[in-house]
Amino acid sequence: MVTGIEASKAWTEMLAVERPLSIGELFADDPTRVEKLTLSIGDLVIDLSKNLIDDRVVATLLAVADEADVESAIGRLLDGYVVNLTEGRAAGHGLLRRPEEARAMVDGVDVAHLVHGVLARMRSFVADVHSGRRLGATGERLTTIVNIGIGGSDLGPSMAYEALRPHHVTGLRCRFVSNIDPADLRAGLSDLEPASTLFVVASKTFATTETLANAKVARDWIVDALGEKAIASHFVAVSTNSQAVRNFGIGDDEMFPFWDWVGGRYSLPSSIGLSLMLGVGSDAFDQMRAGMHVIDEAVRSTPARANAAVMMALIGIWNRNVLGCVSKAVLPYSHDLRRFPAFLQQLDMESNGKSTRLDGSPVPYETGPIIWGEPGTNSQHAFIQSIHQGTSVVPVDFIGFAEPADALVRVGAPDDTRHRTLFLGMLAQARALAFGRSLDEVSAGPFAEHRVLPGNRPSTVVVARRLSPSVLGQLVALYEHVVHVQGVIWGINSFDQFGVELGKEMALDLAVTAPSDRGADPSTHSLLRWYHGFARGPDGG
């Protein structure tokens, strides 16, 4: 019995609607196309006109959104209802960025005082570090923050710290260590002094193998240099597991909690952002949170046709389920935003890389695409060739800014046109992808066919005046809502990640069985025997 969205009239009509074949013809046939397909949300302007959609396609997509009751799902998410059904939890990241005076309900309980209580503690701690009231064990100022975490405890804070480079606090630097490869922590500590280093150990469960292994090495580094008592001055923890934090040696006063209704990949505005707040200051952090809230309220209150997040989600559905696009490239034309594609990789692929629906049935259609990308213009000298002329159609999200974030550059030499070149390069790439270059347009000569660009490669262009803390928050929240809306339509849970857990379990099993190779499959058994021929110590060296 077919019971999912694929059984609906709207889905059937979406699959059957005539597919536009030429972006150029779509523009020629409709002089109002740009006006109709350019949307604003917060400080963001989003041009959807270079996608392979027309009025008929949009109508069928809106019917799909209506069939899936997307509007109600957005409200339930933002109002703290249980939407993570496989784990019986709310997905309350929207509550983390509400104003202090607003109620924040999770399953009927107002948690606003908890959220803002932790934020107040974070601000106080940050002020103490910045002012020198909080010192290291020897009385030196803490001038380097090392965040130890992985996944959502690393990707969000590290991405945002780089993105907000012009807001970095003078005299303080942040580093982020995530990989269990000893080289990561070794490089992170290579030029640091224990007396001036503060570690932020960030782990939702405080049981993550990579994070705890690195944290223990960092603890030994501090103890060897400064003694056991120095742990209290040089370590703080961010976690939901207070007992595990205590067992590690970090006291309750040095722990900043969050809650199991905050998913790791959605946790940037929680205490997981402590390292970020230390690095950019509490004002910038709060501006980022406020930007997220602007998008939350706009997505909640705007009808689907004018709702940028809903329309971006629907175009993603169209590209994936009708046009058959396997991946999507995200190309920020901003060096500071260079880690944003990696952040979106986790957000999208961990959320919507699912093949089982909420009712337990197999998904009979494609779900989340592969997300990848690099900043422009570097990408133009790497993989953009394949997007233009390759045999696979890869939709692109371009992200750009009218002005550089640095005040110094904005008032700098009038002949410094680099930012203008950057922005125009983005527009040129989007134009070339859409309209291509025909054989008639190629100058006569040998190999003319090789210089033809087919065009009709869809793209979305997201622009804002400049990359401010508020705009960064708006970008993060926009894509969070895009991912959620797509998950609602596909009938999957965007808030669990059981695929991550199995790899962890198998790694633990191998750690126990590796000495004897018992229980391993033949391939793993063979690789373990090869490994044992080289491994000499606890870290393989």
**Distance, CA of 469 to CA of 481 (rounded, Å):** 19
Sheet strand arrangement including 144-148: 173-177, 144-148, 197-202, 235-239, 255-257
**Distance, CA of 214 to CA of 12 (rounded, Å):** 51
Cα torsion angle, 140, 145, 148, 152, sign: positive
Q: Which residue in 162, 350, 374, 480 is the catalytic one?
A: 350
Number of DSSP helices (H) and strands (E) in the chain, helices first: 22, 15
**Distance, CA of 510 to CA of 524 (rounded, Å):** 9
**Distance, CA of 307 to CA of 66 (rounded, Å):** 13
504 as an active site residue: the answer is: yes
Q: Is 311 left (phi over 0), alpha (psi -120 to 50) or beta?
A: alpha
Q: Of the candidates 69, 24, 207, 13, which has an alpha carbon nearest to the alpha carbon of residue 491?
A: 69
**Token digits for 340?**
């944003």
CA-based end-to-end distance of the chain: 57
Q: Which element (helix H / strand E) includes 246? A: helix 242-248
**Distance, CA of 541 to CA of 537 (rounded, Å):** 5
Q: Which element (helix H / strand E) includes 200? A: strand 197-202
Which 3 state secondary structure label does DSSP give 83? strand
**Pairing mode of beta strands 255-257, 235-239:** parallel
Q: Which residue in 9, 113, 381, 532 is the catalytic one?
A: 381
Contact yes or no for 299/479 (Cβ under 8 A): no
**Distance, CA of 296 to CA of 301 (rounded, Å):** 9
**Distance, CA of 226 to CA of 142 (rounded, Å):** 14
Q: Is the peptide bond before 356 cis (omega within 30 degrees of 0)?
A: no
The four Cα atoms 518, 522, 528, 532 give a dihedral, to 10 degrees, of: 80
505 as an active site residue: the answer is: no
Other beta carbons less than 10 A from residue 229's beta carbon: 9
**Distance, CA of 77 to CA of 309 (rounded, Å):** 14
**Distance, CA of 212 to CA of 214 (rounded, Å):** 5
Residue 415 main-chain phi, psi, to 5 deg: -90, 5
Q: Which residue in 9, 36, 113, 504 is the catalytic one?
A: 504
Percentage helix, strand, coil for the chain under 3-state DSSP, each rounded to 5: 55, 15, 35
**Distance, CA of 29 to CA of 211 (rounded, Å):** 56
Q: List all residues 6 or more positions away from 9 whose beta carbon is below 8 Å from its beta carbon.
A: 63, 67
Q: Which residues are catalytic?
A: 350, 381, 504
